[in-house]
A and B are shown apart, each in its own frame.
Chain A
Amino acid sequence: EAGVAQSPRYKIIEKRQSVAFWCNPISGHATLYWYQQILGQGPKLLIQFQNNGVVDDSQLPKDRFSAERLKGVDSTLKIQPAKLEDSAVYLCASSLGVGGEQFFGPGTRLTVL
């Protein structure tokens, strides 16, 4: 089966600019996750969707980060405006349902200058 797809793979922006990441989960996977992985740390959950509804966004900095999954399939994560500390790898993952094995995408490496 095809894995989780993400684009772009790399992005370099200046602080205060905006950026958007795209994720296409494994076909049929109802649950989608966005994680932030800062260098040298484990992934940190930003937001979890079940179909097109938000299950958990408690660690999403809502003043600058937003995410949507309008049709319950693809998802986009946006940062506006970006800060230096947002430099990280943004990982998307999906699972068949809640509590199921999470499959990760290749990630988008964001560098904020």
Chain B
Amino acid sequence: GENVEQHPSTLSVQEGDSAVIKCTYSDSASNYFPWYKQELGKRPQLIIDIRSNVGEKKDQRIAVTLNKTAKHFSLHITETQPEDSAVYFCAASRGGANSKLTFGKGITLSVRP
């Protein structure tokens, strides 16, 4: 089955700096890669996703890049703010009839004011 790994497990950045979180996946048939943000004690919320037919997607301060050959994808957050502090999960799925998401273990991002 699919295996999704996230590196590093924790990341601390200064407010205003950029943060990059990387994920690797094992199943070459995966074609959908969402990123979820989970604040302490709250539900995971989708912040951005990418499908395998594109290499990059942007939404204001966040972007996701996908390298299908290397089987990794990354979340980029620019101009970080304290409210960006949370746990970020990447996930992968094959899509289609079986949309089962396999999640990574999460990375805790801390933005220092």
Residues of B within 8 A of A55 (CB): 97-98, 100
Contact check: which of B91, B97, B99 meets A95 at CB < 8 Å? B99
Report yes or no: A91 in contact with B43, Cβ–Cβ below 8 A.
yes
Binds B, one of A19-27, A64-72, A74-82, A101-109: A101-109
Residues of B within 8 A of A105 (CB): 43
Binds A, one of B14-22, B56-64, B101-109: B101-109
CB of A47, distance to nearest CB on chain B (Å): 10
Report yes or no: B98 in contact with A42, Cβ–Cβ below 8 A.
no
Residues of B within 8 A of A48 (CB): 98-100
B89, closest chain A residue (CB): A42
Known: A99-B95, A104-B43, A107-B43. A45 touches B49 (CB 8 A): no
Q: Residues of B within 8 Å of A, CB-based: how many? A: 24
Residues of B within 8 A of A16 (CB): none
Report yes or no: B103 in contact with A43, Cβ–Cβ below 8 A.
yes
Contact check: which of B4, B42, B46, B89 meets A101 at CB < 8 Å? B46
Residues of B within 8 A of A99 (CB): 32, 93, 95-96, 99
CB of B7, distance to nearest CB on chain A (Å): 14
CB of A14 closer than 8 Å to a CB of B: no
CB of B28 closer than 8 Å to a CB of A: no
Report yes or no: B99 in contact with A100, Cβ–Cβ below 8 A.
yes
Residues of A within 8 A of B46 (CB): 101-103
Report yes or no: A42 in contact with B43, Cβ–Cβ below 8 A.
no
Which A residues, 47 to 99, have Cβ-Cβ distances below 8 Å to chain B?
A: 48, 55-56, 91, 95, 98-99
Binding site for A on B (CB under 8 A): 4, 32, 34, 42-46, 49, 89, 91, 93, 95-106
Binding site for B on A (CB under 8 A): 31, 40-45, 48, 55-56, 91, 95, 98-107
